[in-house]
Structures are given as structure tokens and as C-alpha cells.
Amino acid sequence: MSLTQQEVTQFHRQGYLVKPGIFSSNDLQPLKNALTAIIDQQARALQDDGQLKRLYAQEAFGKRLAKIYAENPAAGNLITRHITGKGGGGYNGAAMLQCIRHPSLLSCVESLVGPDIIGSSVYRIRPKLPGWARGEVPWHQDAGYTLAHCDRYLVVTCWIPLVDATLENGCLHIIPTAHKGGILRHFTDGHAGFLEVPQDGLPPVEPMPIPMKAGDVLMLTNLTPHASFANRTDEVRWSIDLRYQSAEVPNNVDEDPATYTPERDPVTMACYPPEADFVIQDTCDPSREIRTAPQFKQLRERYDRHRPDSPGRGWTPLKEQ
């Protein structure tokens, strides 16, 4: 399922591309099962602790966490943190790696970054709960979170809904062609603590909502502005976003996280120092590829145990705009 030349051209001209049906429902089910198991385990612990009256075990995947959050928002937040981890990519089991290495997806990614592919450190699991402030992500570019020397490189974000993404439950909105203008000025302490590009800092291009079916893939450049607004349904809008880059893009593959010290020059660092990059495809040395769940878990946890700080980009708080 490689991209056609027309699709590659659209991606580079518009800054985005939707590729329908890359993941089947069977492809997504192992990850949904893994997330359901986390919810169940944590819900049972919270019930034993007297924080939940019901387990909602008979509810469908899209509704169970929403029901828990509606009964007890604090309990819902605790379960969500177990899923998302420190940065948003907490679950690192086999089903996550299976999604990252999905053959049809990698074939499309190869059309954009070439055959030697690095899995970017910043993959994320996104449960957008109804009425949850942190589920709304303000306008930003993914490059706003990475170091400045990486702005000239392409890092492809693949946004994949695990359930249908609609206007009502908070599908992504993007600003086409705006990636050509480079990095926008971001501010810290935006909505729900995210980086934010305020409305008056956005380019004068009409934003577009991107409704999608479960298993479709939205591919974005790291300079494409995008946002996600309120979930006005009674179900969780589940999605993941995965990031890929050429082996030529700065990364921390084979580096010791202890080398990321305050004294180190940022231009020698990976695009996002706090998390581990990993080899997806290496045409010269396939033995470097991360293919098994234990390899993946060990790699991720090595950076979790010694999580380096990022020197950041010097963005100022929104209140100082």
C-alpha cells in the first residue's frame, strides 16, 4: 500500500494526506484489547479502594472509560494516566509495537522518508474523554515541541483513530499549506497546559476538519498546524499518533540517555531528547531493527528510568503574549 506519486505530491503541497483503511478492525483489536485490560485492572483496584461503585465491564470499548469518568472524574483521570504515561505514550506492549510496525503503514511512510526509517520517540495514545479539558488540544505544530535544529527535517506524524473520529467527538482540524511558512510562534501554558499558537498568530488560511473512519491514517508534516476540540458525545474518542523520520534526521538511537546533560549543545541532540528513538527499517543492517515486544519495552523503559530534560526552545508563557 505505498503512496502514489499524486498522494506524495499532495502531502508535500498541502502538508497532509488521508489514506483510508490502512488498519482493519482486526489490526486495531489487539491494541484495543490491551487498553481495555489496563482499564479493567485499574478500575478493579479503584473499586477495591472504594473510589468506584461499578466496573462498567459490559460497556463497549468507546464507552467504558467515559462511564467511569462520569461517575468519578478523579478515578477516570487516574486510569487515563496509567494509559498515557509521562508524556502520552505510556503503554509500550506488543500491540503498540504491532501498530508502529504495521506493514501497509510503513510502506506509505517509506514513500515519504525513504527506506531507512527511525521510529520517532514521540508516539502518543489519545483518549479524548467527554468533558475532559485535557482532551482539547489547541493549535500547534508538532515541531513546536522539538528542538529548533530539527525544523528543516521532515518528521511524519501518522494520526490513527481507533474509533470513528467525527466533528461531534473531536476529530482533528488542520490548516493546509501552512507548513510552507515554517515554524510559528508558540506559547507555553496554553489550554490545559499545552503549547499553543493563539488565533491571531495563525496563518490566514481556512482550517479544515478531518472526519475519519477507524483505521484511516492522517499523515501530517511536523510543521502542519493542527488542533482538536471538545468531545460532545458520551463516548471516548480513542486515537494514537505515531511519528517516523529518515535515519538522516537527528535521533538518539544507540545513545545513552545519561549523555543528555545541561552542558551538551542542543544541536547535537535528538529532536526530542526525553524519549527513545528506535530503528524501524535499516537496509544495511536489519539486525538493528526493533522487532520484538521485549526489545521495545526495554528501550522505552531505559529512557523512562533516566528521562533527560529537553533544553526546549525558549517559548514564553501565553500570558506574556
Q: Which domains does the chain have, with CATH numbers?
A: 5-25+97-306 (2.60.120.620)
Three-state DSSP string of 154-180: CEEEEEEECCCECCCCCCEEECCCHHH
Please name which of 225, 184, 246 lies closest in space to residue 14, comparing C-alpha atoms: 225
Q: What is the pLDDT of residue 295?
A: 93
User: Is 118 within 8 Å of 290 (Cβ atoms)?
Assistant: no
Residues 6+ apart with CB under 8 A from 115: 281, 283
Per-residue pLDDT tens digits of the chain, which is 321 residues long: 799 999 999 999 999 999 999 999 999 999 999 999 999 999 999 999 999 999 999 999 999 999 999 999 999 999 999 888 765 557 888 999 999 999 999 999 999 999 999 998 788 999 999 999 889 999 999 999 999 999 999 999 999 999 999 999 999 999 999 999 999 999 999 999 999 999 999 999 999 999 999 999 999 999 999 999 999 999 999 999 999 999 999 999 999 999 999 999 999 999 999 999 999 999 999 999 999 999 998 888 888 888 888 898 999 999 877
Please name which of 188, 90, 76, 184 lies closest in space to residue 135, comparing C-alpha atoms: 76
Q: What is the pLDDT of residue 88?
A: 52
Q: What is the pLDDT of residue 264?
A: 95
Q: What is the pLDDT of residue 303?
A: 85
Q: How far is it, in rounded angstroms, from Cα 93 to Cα 87?
A: 16
Q: How far is it, in rounded angstroms, from Cα 126 to Cα 83?
A: 9
Q: What is the pLDDT of residue 12?
A: 98
Q: What is the pLDDT of residue 86?
A: 65
C-alpha cell at 185: 510562534
